[in-house]
A and B are shown apart, each in its own frame.
Chain A
Amino acid sequence: MAPAERFAYAVARLRAMSGRLLEESLIQRILDCEDLDSALKILAETAYSAWLVELKGSGDFDRIIEAELSNAYTEVQKFVPDERLVQLCRIPYDFHNVKVLVKSAILVREGGERRYDLLTSLGNIPVEELVVAVESEDYRLLPFGLHRLLPLCLSQWEQTRDILQVENSLDAGLFSVLAEIAVATGFDSAVRWVKGRIDAENIRNLLRLKRLDLDIAGAASFLHEGGWIAGEKLLALLNEPVESWPRVLSFSDVSGVFANVPDLSDLGALIVEMERALDEYVSAILARAKYEAFTPENVIAYLWAKEMEAKNLRIALVAVANNTDRTIARGLLRHGR
């Protein structure tokens, strides 16, 4: 375990880097732009300017968002005393890459094409290593339990031909690895954050399943263990109307999220609203880090803020590029930096 004092330098660097995070007012300015070119001009005043030269066309803005996020991860990984904190934030991208590879392998067997263009460099495992491992079917050296999970998923597909089951196994693997790493760091804040994330993910999934009218037996495979709220309690929510969920969950912190959502009757609108509110709940878990100089949660707080920044920027740029209603886009923006 890295002693907390070792984080003094890292936290100081992170404080300096936090100053370069995009202000909410800048996102609002981007949203007020009439076209994408003017939005990119505003972006040229920020840290994103370094990647603007690589832009092939104005519609290619996702590339610069990804490049800046990847740069932030690489930068932080260089000076952070415990790399596992960065790994925690990058793991979802590893699992995304694994899903692309598994689906590509399935598509190739069915006469389709590989979609390696969907692989992202944001993960912990280099894309080339992952591709070689899958192509050569040599999974032994893959980290994060993927050496077991990958062949399991492929055999699951062979037996069931059900991609949803395969994806559920990978999602379960993702959250169990997140919990394992958080515990291994020995930092309470990391464990709290991961537990909060799992709760948020479970609530989000439950709302989606409730709308799809799935029964308890079917919904169980979509929920993940390791959060503050037990699986049985969450599953019982499916039999309750959404309006009473805050009351049933009142013992947990996540119940406060429902207070920020005005209308619980329209499930479709609620899901969109709740996704934003749950992201803000996950941000709030680490809010205390601002006032502590030596705590490791500053690392996660910065990286999570960077993730939210990327999300906000993407929402703003997509709204400008497609000339959609800016009020809807403003409603999707995540706050709580």
Chain B
Amino acid sequence: MPRMSVNPNRMELSRLKKRLFVAKRGHKLLKDKQDALIKAFLERAREGKALREELEEELAACYKSFLLARAQTLPAMLEQALMISGAKCDLRVDYQNVMSVMVPVYSVDQHGSPHNYGLATSSGSLDLALERFAKLIPKLIELAAKEKAIRLMAYEIEKTRRRVNALEHVLIPDFIDTIRYITMKLDEQERSTLSRLMKIKEIVRSH
């Protein structure tokens, strides 16, 4: 194992011991954070998947009813009907702290009616399609928020995992090795001092 290049003295030893203690504590905390994040991530991922599947079905139904409207009208008439929209969507973004990840929470407020066109040059299927799309917008926004949160959490899990691995496999073993090295060096020094003293004492006694 590679050890750190340090001066093998007691001061350095005590400093490294303190750093090892902090690293072990940090490792435990980060490990706990990673576990909690994975748990929250899996929960959200399951919810997101279910919502996406539900929305994909609804979206297909919406497009189907829009297709009915498109099939029964001149395309230019359909586009003309939708040239000026009567409905407006206000989107607000708030942030929620989940395990130190700032997850966005979108809230959408729809005003006005999507039926903002004359009835003579549009078909009834268009009313149905637009209503379905209008109902779908809050769910689409909810899905967007969920998927954004999932992406942010996945990035945070990856970051935490790298930190935990760095502590577990690099930093802590390095500290341990360096501490062992310094301890050995200090013991060596102590032994050599002791033997030197004994030698001197023997020389003095023989005279």
Contact = CB atoms under 8 A, between A and B. Distances in A.
A272 B125 contact: yes
Interface in B148-163: none
The majority secondary structure among interface residues of chain B is helix
A271 interface: yes
Nearest to A65: B74
B125 to A, nearest CB: 6
A180 interface: no
A95 interface: yes
A55 interface: no
B115 A95 contact: no
Interface string A264-307: 00001001101100000000000000000000000000000000
B71 A318 contact: yes
Contact of A275 (B72, B80, B84): B72
Interface string B159-186: 0000000000000000000000000000
A222 B115 CA distance: 13
A201 interface: yes
Contacts of B125: 271-272, 275
Contacts of A175: 120
A311 B72 contact: yes
B119 A222 contact: yes
Interface residues of A, number: 47
Given A164-B116, A205-B119, A318 B70 contact: yes
B76 A171 contact: no
A212 B120 contact: no
A62 B121 contact: no
A92 B121 contact: yes
A217 interface: no
B79 interface: yes
Interface stretch (A15-23, A182-190, A322-330): A322-330
A272 B80 contact: no
A26 interface: no
Nearest to B123: A275
Contacts of B51: none
Interface string B50-80: 0000000000000010011011101111011
A115 interface: yes
A103 B68 contact: no
A249 interface: no
A117 B75 CA distance: 11
Interface string B102-132: 0000000000000111111101110110000
Given A100-B83, A115-B83, A163-B84, A204 B76 contact: no
Contacts of B127: 208, 211-212, 271
Contacts of A95: 120-121
A314 B67 CA distance: 11
Nearest to B118: A167
A255 interface: no
A272 B119 contact: no
A96 B77 contact: yes
A62 B119 contact: no
B86 interface: yes
Contact of A163 (B67, B75, B76, B86): B86
B150 to A, nearest CB: 31
A-B CB proximity, top 10 nearest? A167-B118, A271-B124, A318-B71, A171-B120, A118-B76, A103-B83, A315-B71, A171-B118, A163-B84, A205-B119
10 contacts: A92-B120, A99-B121, A103-B84, A115-B83, A164-B86, A204-B124, A208-B127, A272-B128, A275-B72, A332-B72
Interface of B: 64, 67-68, 70-72, 74-77, 79-80, 83-84, 86, 115-121, 123-125, 127-128
